[in-house]
Amino acid sequence: MARSSTEGGDSARRLASDTISEPVDEAALAPAGWAGWLYKPAGTSATGGPIASRLGQVSWAMFECARIPYVLLVTIYLFGPYFTRHVFSDPVQGQSVWAAISSWGGIATAVAAPFLGAIADNGGRRKPWIFVYTVMMVASMLAMWVATPHAPVGTLWLIAIAIIVANFSYEFSSVFHNAMLPTIAPHDRVGPLSGLGLSLGNLAGIILLGFMFVAFSAPGNLHWFFIPDHPLFGISRELHTPERLTGPISGIWLAIFALPLFLFTPDKPSTGIPVRRQMALGVRAVWSTIKSLRHYRNIGMYLIARIFFNDGMGAVLLFGGIYAASTFDWEPLAMMTYGLELSVFAVLGGFVGGWLDNRLGSKRAIFVSVGGTLLFFCLSLTFAPDRMFWFIPYDVHAAPINDLPFFNTWPQVIYLLIVNGVAVLITAGYANARTMMARIAPAEKMTEFFGLMSLSGTAATPFANGAVSIMTAWTMSQRGGLLPIIGFLGVGILLMFFVKEERAVVPD
């Protein structure tokens, strides 16, 4: 059925070109209904190959829907704050250890990511690699269930290993997933499709946070008509079971919603080169690419800039929830609500990123999104229960401004408004950064440069998160520990002034 629909679309296109001289509207020629999702429009992708069907493109974006809930539930809003406050009883020590664990994962990613990209260029197919790292992510997320309060040393090591494996598998899958984007979509769809993926991912986070809010945290605390009287399935909040479930729930979600990518998104054909030969060619290609960066100076400058601002944005995400939970003493009910609200604004950020990209171009869009992230993050650090914008005092014994059991003081409410802006701009920044590489890398080395881009996103992770770890331990303050993030964002923005938005060509 799909074949006959495609042939009918090709016939209609030829007839249209014979009878009229004006451009043909591809959307008008596409079949209706399910066949329209399978229809492959004319034209070429950003790398010069055939364009994937609408279903194939959306399935690519669905992989972000599958992965991003791990970031939201585990690293930002629930498991991370739980780890620092309850697995470790001292939040300052917990933040330092959490930063150190993130650094270890970053080291593994930084070493391997560019080589994997080059291997994928020689092997052709990307989806088998994505499948391997998806399985590793699912297994490590399931293992996070063992994170009990005040866990013994042996369990802490198991938790650390699970987090490290999940983090570097996430990044490794990004190398191949990002590299597929310019091969399935035309140039003018790369930005919007990138933003769609991030928006779908944040929407998935909203769904899972909403489920956990209604099923586990709100019962007994909020007496709304759709809230049960008791947590579902006999879940114990006293034992922090909801937080421990974030890993397994994220893993199951990933296993289900990664399937469309493997089923419907087209992959490059295999080159038939043996794996060991691919590895040798990959190592050689990476070294050649590094040596030839004198020719790709513009890309090299962009990679350096992205090392700084991408790692700064990652640190904002990684430690923002931890800082908020400790500063305002928010427990899981408040953190789930906090996560739901920010995820809603992050969904908007995906579309804002696509709009900025098409309106301003990728470079200017990065200035807006990353610069705005820096501004709002700095403002967020000036809040505490007893003050706003650092200099405005607030009476902690004042009457609540609303009837909610949380977010009932002016510092908390204004802080929420500020971090809503962070959620929008940081999501837009990720979308803009990915599109920038798709627009400046040579088509023949797209996967290889996306591997190097992943390196630029993770190579500094040991230094950025390590700096947060060291600064937190040195200042004995969570706020003081976050100051290096400002430097990373600022340096990244300054370096972007030296980057041009133009596609590189492979030297003869």
Section 232-254 average pLDDT = 84
pLDDT at position 45: 72
Residue 12 domain flag: no
Q: Which residue has the tokens 């579309």?
A: 351
In a domain, 78, yes or no: yes
Whole-number Å distance between alpha carbons of 414 and 404: 15
Residue 11 has pLDDT above 50, yes or no: no
pLDDT bracket for residue 6 (50, 70, 90): very low
Q: Do 431 and 201 touch, CB atoms closer than 8 A?
A: no
Average pLDDT over every residue of 419-438 = 89
Q: What is the pLDDT of residue 139?
A: 96
Whether the CB-CB separation of 163 and 100 falls below 8 Å is answered with no
Q: Which of 106, 87, 79 minimizes the C-alpha distance to 465?
A: 106
**Between vectors from CA 47 to CA 431 and to CA 10, what angle results, nearest 5°?**
110
CA distance 205 to 421: 18
- What pLDDT does residue 117 have? 65
Is-above-0.75 flag for pTM? Answer: no
**Chain centroid, CA 372 distance in Å:** 18
Q: Would residue 71 count as lying in a domain?
A: yes
pLDDT digits (tens, 9 = 90+) for 144-160: 998 888 878 788 889 88
Tell me how far apart the alpha carbons of residues 149 and 87 are, in angstroms, rounded to a whole number.
4
Percent of the chain surpassing pLDDT 90:
21
The span from the CA of 412 to the CA of 427, in Å, is 22
The reported pLDDT for the residue numbered 8 is 45
pLDDT in tens, 443-484: 777 767 776 776 666 666 677 777 888 888 888 888 888 999
Q: What is the model's pLDDT at position 47?
A: 64
- Angstrom distance (rounded) from CA 272 to CA 195: 34
Q: Note the pLDDT of residue 30.
A: 52
Q: Please check whether residue 43 lies inside any domain of the structure.
A: no
Give a yes or no: residue 225 inside a domain: yes
> Domain of 387: which CATH number?
1.20.1250.20
pLDDT of residue 291: 74
- The residue-averaged pLDDT of 423-448 equals 84
Three-class DSSP category at 225: coil
State the pLDDT at residue 271.
66
How many structural domains is the chain composed of?
1
Share of the chain above pLDDT 70, in %: 83
- The reply to whether 15 falls in a domain is no
Please name every residue paired with 50 in a beta bridge, in sequence order, or none if there are none.
44
On whether residue 4 sits in a domain, the answer given is no
9-18, 56-65, 85-94: range with highest mean pLDDT: 56-65
Mean pLDDT score across all residues of the chain? 80
Phi, psi (deg, nearest 5) at residue 501: -95, 80
Q: Is the pLDDT of residue 124 over 60?
A: yes
- Sign (positive or negative) of CA dihedral 324, 325, 327, 330: positive
Please tell me the predicted confidence (pLDDT) of residue 378.
94
- Our CA angle for 47, 49, 54, nearest 5°, is 100
- How many other C-beta atoms can be found within 10 angstroms of the C-beta atom of residue 480? 15
Domain assignment present for 76: yes
Q: Is pLDDT at 231 greater than 70 in this prediction?
A: yes
CA distances from 354 to 70, 393, 428 (A): 23, 40, 7
Residue ranges making up the domain that contains 59: 48-496
DSSP 389: T
